[in-house]
Amino acid sequence: MGRTIMKKQNSKLGFTLLELMVAMALGLIVMAAMASLFKTGMDATMRVTQRAETQANMRAAIDIMAKDISLAGAGLPTGGIQLPAGTGSSASKYGCDAASCHLPTNTYPTGNYMYGILPGYNNGVEANATITAASSRINDSVTVIYADYNFPLWEFNLNFTSATSGAAVTVAANPSYNPAPPAITSAGGIQVGDLIMISGGGYVGVGEVTALTNASMAFANLDPLNINQDGAQSGNLKAIAAAVGTGTSVTAYRLFAVTYYLTVPAAGQTPRLMRQVNGLAPVPVADDIINLQFAFDVYNSTNGALDANQANPLGVSESPNNIQKVNMVVMAQSILNSGRNSQNMYLATSVSARNMTFRNRYQ
């Protein structure tokens, strides 16, 4: 009988080259999918972060502008204030400080008249710089003016030093107030560049502080805002001094003339929203703001109707004094403004100018 020889199976055989290549390919596919999923997650997180930061910038811009706009006209005489006029006068300015003026157009309208709101249609970018990132090429500014009730300037006796000039007043605390008011140079007090509204003798005028001590304020000519015009025929502090003389005290309040506009910084930085008060240096209030637009609901005194969403009231002969509501739109760009992470977003709101013209719509 023959013998049957059984071959022993070799259990130490490895993968073939083909099997190894297939396994590696499958592993790479899985790793690529995981990497893509991780990148997608990171991109989504970045977009959410960018969106949140952009929304925060816009809300900061909207909130601070809404606060100022809601106060527009507070404490001003009905209809506003006539600034220096007539022979010897020239246009007064807003949106300026001692260094420069920050708006392309910066003079008061309609014969040098100070209203509670000054619309700035297509006048909203410093030096007329171009902001290409915005979908709209129209950028507006807005200036709102109201009395400051935080510092009690009315608790002082102010007397002109001359009956023929409005260039200086003496300042002394009124003893009838107890406790006595803080010194005018104290923290939060008056600064050089502030606007002071003075009333007396049946007149109301505005001056820009050019120098001060605890006992005096000066309103010298050639101030940055060209408010102090002692040689003007009317509408200046000299007219009040002539009416009251040196022995009668006048009443004074600080005014805030607040201008909002956009500026484009150097070194490739994105535009930012600026806030400039009186004749003081402007400060940034929100970064990455690339578009700013305003429209105004204006009471038409001719036909008794409300002209809604007027982008340029002055351009259609509407009086800023009749503005009742301000509609604003802010557009912001994400900090990362290239590639898939770039985002532009809008935020809009409306603010009632409750201290401006009142219209009884129920009549």
pLDDT of residue 359: 60
pLDDT of residue 13: 61
pLDDT of residue 132: 81
pLDDT of residue 204: 97
- Structural contact between residues 125 and 204, judged by C-beta atoms closer than 8 angstroms: no
Candidates 157, 165, 170; CA nearest to 237 is 165
Candidates 104, 81, 80, 106; CA nearest to 95 is 106
**Count of Cβ atoms closer than 10 Å to residue 257 Cβ:** 24
Q: Would you write out the chain's pLDDT as a tens digit for each of its 363 residues?
A: 556 555 555 555 667 877 778 888 888 888 887 877 766 666 655 666 677 777 888 898 999 999 999 999 999 998 899 999 999 999 999 999 999 999 999 999 999 999 999 999 999 999 999 888 777 789 999 999 999 999 999 999 999 999 999 999 999 999 999 999 999 999 999 999 999 999 999 999 999 999 999 999 999 999 999 999 999 999 999 999 999 999 999 999 999 999 999 999 887 788 999 999 999 999 999 988 999 999 999 988 778 788 999 999 999 999 999 999 999 999 998 766 555 566 788 899 999 988 886 665 544
pLDDT of residue 12: 57
How far apart CA 275 and CA 257 sit, in angstroms, is 10
pLDDT of residue 45: 58
The phi-psi region of residue 304 (left if phi > 0; otherwise alpha if psi is between -120 and 50; otherwise beta) is left
Tokens of 310: 């007027």
pLDDT of residue 137: 81
pTM: 0.86
pLDDT of residue 362: 47
